[in-house]
Structures are given as C-alpha cells and as structure tokens.
Structure 1
Amino acid sequence: MEKLKLYNQEELDQLRMRQDPLADLAVISLIENPELAQEINSWSQIPDQLPIHFPKVLQEYFSFFKEAAELADSELLKKGQDFFSQTGDIYLGLLGFYSLPYCYAFGDGAQVLVRSKRIVEEIGIRLAETGLFVMELFKPGGFYSDTSPYLTCAKVRLIHAFSRYFISTYSKDWEVKFGAPINQEDMLGTNLAFSMIVLRGLTKMGYSIDSQTFQLVLSYWKWVGALLGVDVKFWPETPKEAFELDRLIRKRHLKETEAGKRLIFALAEYYKQNIPDSIVRNQVDSLFGFFLGKEVAQVLKISHEINLPGSLVDLIFKFSGWKNYGPKKTYQKIRKMMESQQKEQFGKLVQLQIPVFNRP
C-alpha cells in the first residue's frame, strides 16, 4: 500500500506536465530523417543489430527495448496470455464498450484524442489498430519467445510522441490548462482503462475476479506500461492502489466537454452502422450506459435509464462470441476472426505504422 502516499494532487499535477523524453527525442530525429520512419515500418521485429546509420537518439530508443527483453518474466507473461486466451473476445468487447468511452469522459485527455481527425473520421481503422495492438500484447509467447511485440510497443510509443509533436507544433487552440499533451497522468489513466476498467467490466457482468487474477492483470500492464513510457513508480501494485489512483484521476478530470461528446457520438454511430451482430448493434447506447454508470454517462450525455441486468449483458457477449468462435475460443480463433473482419471491411489487414512526415 506504500504507493497510496503518491496519489495526491501535487504529485499528479507534476505528472500532468511530464511526457516521454526518450520517445520525443526519437521522433524529432524521425521528422528530420523520414526515410528512417519508412525503414522502421518495414521491420517485422526490432533487429538484433540496430542499423549503424541510425542517429544516436534512435539507437538509444530501440536499445531500451532490447535491454527490457532481458528482464522479461516468462512465467508472468504466460499467465497473462493464458488469461487473455480465455477471455479475449469479451476483453476486446469491454475495451470498445467501456474502456474507450471511459477515457472520453476525462475532459482534458479527450482534447488530445479529438484533435486526431483519424479518431472521428477514420474511426474504423483506429479501432482496428487498437484491437491489433492489444492482440499483439497478449500474443502467446510474446515478449519472451516471440520478440515482435516489442516492435509493436515501440511503434505505439512513437505514435504517441508524434501526436505530442504535432499538437505542440501545429495546434493553435491547445490550452495550458489541458496539461502537456499525452502526459504521464493521462498515460497512467489509459493504462488503467485497459486493465483495471476491463476487470471492473467483467465484475459488472457477474464474473468473479479474485485478487490473484486482479494482481496478474495489474502486473502484466505494469510490464506493458514500462515499455510504453509510463513511469511505473506510480503504477499501482494492488487492487486498493488501483482503485485509489482511478478515484483520484476521476475526481480531477471527469467533466463534460465538447471533445468528449464528439468522441462518444462518433463511436456510437460507428457501432450502430458496422457491428455485424444485430443484438449488440441494437443495444449500443444501453451497453454504454450499463458499463459507464450514471455519473460518467451524464458527462457524455448518454442515456442511462435503461437498466440492463449484468446477466443479460453477459449473455449478449457470450452469444456473440459463440456465433463467432464456437464453443471453444482461442487466441488463434479471435485473431483469425479479427483479420477476416478487417479484410471484409477495409479490403486489407490493418498494420500499425508510424507517421512518415515528409516536410516540404
């Protein structure tokens, strides 16, 4: 419980102004050398020997991941990946119906998201990229026998740094009160949304999440967070610490904003037009309201008056999963279904690519 003393207004105010220097310096180098961004996008994994023509800051950036690989805890990682194999379809569903909308309700962080036109204008691709990112994180053998997820984390971290650069350089309406773009507090909050909030969603649906499972998921996302540039000194080690950090961030930033309402409207409309399962498609607003609860739903102007029982929500998710994967779901089946849906919707497999910024 020793981290509870870190969760106060003063500490989080400081985190709100801190970003990720390692990735931010690497992005400046990539903007100066766009051909290197293209080269990185061609990789399937971080090479054993980094290219000698890479500038020092890029050498240092990718060396971080190679050094991290030596610390991989294969036992922890395998347990986390086994948990995802058992719950993966519901896990992804909760990201879409709970974690992402939850993030939209935190007004200052939503200011970054709404400034990315791709999130509201190419929402399908963005959601597919998020799904791919999570699938890569939980790939069986990932990080300890299959090193490709390190490149995934390196790319996502650079994408965040590119967003910071573009906002700082080109966004004329960014206000100091929002904090630094994609700062450490927001990164902690996002990591919580992809871990603790998913477990909270499972609990709302009637699942019993024991302390061991909760601890496992927190530990897995501590590992991922460190790779993504999160200062894990502040990452919760226990369920109580996780609840307290979420409570404080919620108290500080939960508020109604035009950014949040625009984001949730775009997400809802996309779901209503594109989710293949008609049962889920017809319950989009009700599912949002069920997971988010009254306070968050009010902030996002979502109706929360239709009270779905958790058992019914569980049945909706299970029925959808049964139709897609049959009686036994596996990581491979979930991945295959995701790729099939991408080909059908976009005519191609979605890939995570860092921007290639060709300056005039």
Structure 2
Amino acid sequence: MNRYTDASMDALRTVGDELADATVATLFARGEVGKFNTLMRYVSTAGAPLPEGLPDVAREYLRATAAPPDWVDWGEMEKARLFFIDNNVHISTALSFASMPACYVVPHVAKLLSTTHGLKYPSKRMAETGQFTVHLMRPDAFEAGSRFIPAAQKVRLLHASIRHHLKREGLWDTGTLGVPICQEDMIGGQMFFSMLVLDSLHRLGIHMSDEGAAAYYYAWRVVGAMLGVDQDAVPKSLEEARQFLDLYMVRYMGPSEEGAHLTRQLIDLYEEVVPGTFFDPIVSALIRHLTGDICADWLEVPRTSWDTVVKAVPHLLGVLETIEDRSPLGAWALDRLGHLTAVLELSSLTRGRVMHYAIPEQLKTEYGLAHTVPPGHRWTPPAPSVPS
C-alpha cells in the first residue's frame, strides 16, 4: 500500500524547518546577519571552537545541530562510503546530468531558483552540490576536523533565509505554491540526489549490489535529517522512496520558461568544461538519455547526432567493469581515474576555491580501499508505483 497520497503531500507543503527558521528570523530581527556571516567564515571544520562574538541564537543553533542523529548506523554509512568510492565518477555524472535537470523540470522549484538569482549562477550551485557530496563521503565526515557538518549547518540556514526573504518581500505565493523550500520539496530534493542517482546508474548499466544501493540511499537519509527534513515523513526504504518520487513528479513535473533557461545555462557550463567543441553535443545527449525524451523536451534540451551514440555508454562501461573485475591493477587504475575525474570536474566548477555558504542579506587519495561488487548480484530499481 502506498503511504503517500495527495493529501499527505499537501500537508508537507505547509511546513518549513522550525529550528532554522526561528534562528534566521531572530538574526534578521536583531540586525546580526552581517556579523554572523563574517564570523561563520571561520567555522569550517567540525569540533573547532566557535568564534567570540557569535550571536547567541546562532551559537545555540550550531550546538543543537553539531552532531548527526543518534539513530545513525555507522556500518551502513561505511558501506555508503565504499559505494561512493567505487562509483564516484558515475555518481558525479548522474548528479550533473540527471539530478540537476530534474530540479528544473519542477516549475515551482525552477521559479524559486530564478527568484533567488540561481539562474545566473549554475556553476556555483553545481560546485556547492559536488563539494557537499565529497565532504559527506570522506572517512572522517562526522569527526572533529571534517568540513561536512559545518556545511550542512550552513545549508540549512541558507534554506531558511530564502524562505524568510521570499515571504517577507511578497515574492512567493504561499497560498498557491506552499511554503518555499517546504518539507515536500526538501524530501523531493533528497530523492533527486539519492533515488534518481541510483536510477541513472542503473540506466548507465552500472553494476550495483542491493546492499550498496540501499546504503547510498541511507546516507542521504542521514543528510536529510541534518538538513531539517521531517523523519516521520521521509521514505525509509527504496520502495517507499519510489512511491514518493513517482507521486512528487506526477504532481509537479512540466515545462516552464525558468526550467528551460536554467537547463540552457547548465548545458553551456558543461560545454565549457568539455575540452574543445567536438564533444559538446554529448552534454545534451547525456541529459536526454538520463531524463528521458519527455522531460528533455520540456527543458528544451537540443536533439543531437550524439543521442544514439550515448546509448552505447552502458556497453562501454560494461567492458570497463569486466577489466575492473578481472584485474586488480585495472581496478586500481580505473578507481584512480574515477577519483581524478571527479576532482577535476569539481575543480572546474569551484575554480579551486572552497565554497562558503552564507545567509544572503538580500536576494540578489585519502578515500581508502576500493569496494567491488560480487558478480551476479546486480541491483534493480523498485517497480514504478501507481499514485493513489
């Protein structure tokens, strides 16, 4: 039975993030946002002493959110890390060419990005997402000295500040669209970065185990909890995730001017990253292959001569996997290539800088050992659900 219905989803549209929203509202009411942003640039690693002069409400928030949920299964998180190591370049590809365009095929999400000037800075959003994921999948992600927890704390406040601005300045029709960055959309985003990534890896023909796929999804459940997602509402399993994602997309996906504009910006960005011009069409072809023709047409993704070529990618990856499975040296070389590709992709977006998350005052090789999947145990996605 599907636990998600239109009525239950509608209820999630009325709720934001009580803790982060209250913190941001107090900072603005007291005129302390500038001071907070200045001092928070020095808070980049977990366990570091908080700077003197930090507003009291911010200090309380940072202390309350300084640790992951007490229900985290660390064995499962280690499986997720190993899954990421083994598939890092494929996951980066899925995030870039499937997860991000999926955000743009939801018109009210594209509208929100447009209103917050996100349309002008796709590289910044992609860099923040990539860097956030890399921080998450490091061995020390939740230990003193890591960068992941402070990044999660800042992203949560960034979301709250967007809610604050849109509602205060009358730029968002809450009655029609619900609370900006509401619980339904936060869970939807979690599905895009977890379930949709797994779907894309499957579409690319990547060999995944049931255990690895479940662990990767579990890691994003932990992320969601740290970003203020209601744990009573979030899907607990891949089957429930399929139900939520299917209903969410049926409820909202469609064409929009903002979505097409942002997709064009993203394509231009990645064509700049791809050396030369000969391979430029592969960017559009990959988006079309991973999102499907209907979504790609809504986003006005151009059709190219590479659309057919890209369909051969699973066969090429299958050959590489065979090399990886049969040769320890080949496995090591491919893992290093994957790591370097992911790092170079991220570096091209960040221009070598560390991305800082701040509350806008106005709207304007240490990875470890590789993990291989036993042959014959391949993950298949849960079947599509029928929205009730």
TM-score (norm 2): 0.79
Distance in 2 (alpha carbons) for counterparts of 1:153 and 1:318: 38
Deviation string for 1:108-162 (max 9, x for gaps)? Answer: 2221112122x32222233212211111111222114654311010011111112
Distance in 2 (alpha carbons) for counterparts of 1:330 and 1:70: 36
Contact 1:16–1:183 (Cα < 8 Å) also in 2 = yes
Match of 1:350 in 2: 354
Query: Which letter does structure 1 place at the counterpart of 2:66?
Result: K
Identity of aligned residues (%): 25
Distance in 2 (alpha carbons) for counterparts of 1:339 and 1:114: 23
Contact 2:127–2:349 (Cα < 8 Å) also in 1 = yes
Contact 1:108–1:179 (Cα < 8 Å) also in 2 = no
Query: Which letter does structure 1 place at the counterpart of 2:93?
Result: G
Is residue 91 of structure 2 the alignment partner of residue 91 of structure 1?
Answer: yes
Compute the displacement of 1:185 (Å).
Answer: 0.6
Distance in 1 (alpha carbons) for counterparts of 2:191 and 2:44: 28
Contact 1:205–1:311 (Cα < 8 Å) also in 2 = no
1:172-251 aligned at under 5 Å gives the runs 172=171, 174=173, 176-251=175-250
Aligned residue among 6, 9, 33 for 1:9: 6
Match of 1:337 in 2: 344
Moved more, 140-149 or 37-46: 140-149
Match of 2:79 in 1: 79
CA RMSD in angstroms, aligned pairs only: 3.1
Q: 1:341 to 1:51 in 2, by over 3 A?
A: closer
Q: 1:58 to 1:331 in 2, by over 3 A?
A: farther
Contact 2:24–2:161 (Cα < 8 Å) also in 1 = yes
Moved more, 41-50 or 288-297: 41-50
Moved more, 187-196 or 29-38: 29-38
Deviation string for 1:252-278 (max 9, x for gaps)? Answer: 001111121111121112222333375
Moved more, 270-279 or 182-191: 270-279
Q: 1:263 to 1:175 in 2, by over 3 A?
A: farther
Moved more, 69-78 or 100-109: 69-78
Match of 2:377 in 1: none
Instruction: Name whichever structure is richer in helix by fraction.
Output: 1
Moved more, 125-134 or 251-260: 125-134
Q: 1:65 to 1:92 in 2, by over 3 A?
A: same
1:1-360 aligned at under 5 Å gives the runs 4-5=2-3, 7-31=4-28, 32-33=31-32, 34-47=34-47, 50=50, 54-68=54-68, 72-117=72-117, 119-144=118-143, 146-172=145-171, 174=173, 176-276=175-275, 280-303=279-302, 306-308=307-309, 310-312=311-313, 315=316, 327-329=334-336, 333=340, 336-338=343-345, 340-341=347-348, 346=351, 348-355=352-359, 357=361
Deviation string for 1:42-83 (max 9, x for gaps)? Answer: 112244665685555323321222343665433222221111
Distance in 2 (alpha carbons) for counterparts of 1:298 and 1:331: 31
Q: 1:239 to 1:342 in 2, by over 3 A?
A: closer
Instruction: Provide the secondary structure at the position in 1 that maps to 2:75.
Output: helix
Distance in 1 (alpha carbons) for counterparts of 2:176 and 2:41: 35
Distance in 2 (alpha carbons) for counterparts of 1:91 and 1:82: 13
Query: Which letter does structure 1 place at the counterpart of 2:250?
Result: K
Contact 1:86–1:329 (Cα < 8 Å) also in 2 = no
Query: Which letter does structure 2 place at the counterpart of 1:86?
Result: D
Instruction: Provide the secondary structure at the position in 2 that maps to 1:234.
Output: coil
TM-score (norm 1): 0.85
Distance in 1 (alpha carbons) for counterparts of 2:312 and 2:123: 29
Distance in 1 (alpha carbons) for counterparts of 2:49 and 2:358: 21
Compute the displacement of 1:15 (Å).
Answer: 0.5
Contact 1:98–1:291 (Cα < 8 Å) also in 2 = yes
Distance in 2 (alpha carbons) for counterparts of 1:56 and 1:100: 36
Distance in 2 (alpha carbons) for counterparts of 1:69 and 1:147: 17
Any stretches of 5+ residues in structure 1 without a counterpart?
A: none
Number of matched pairs: 348
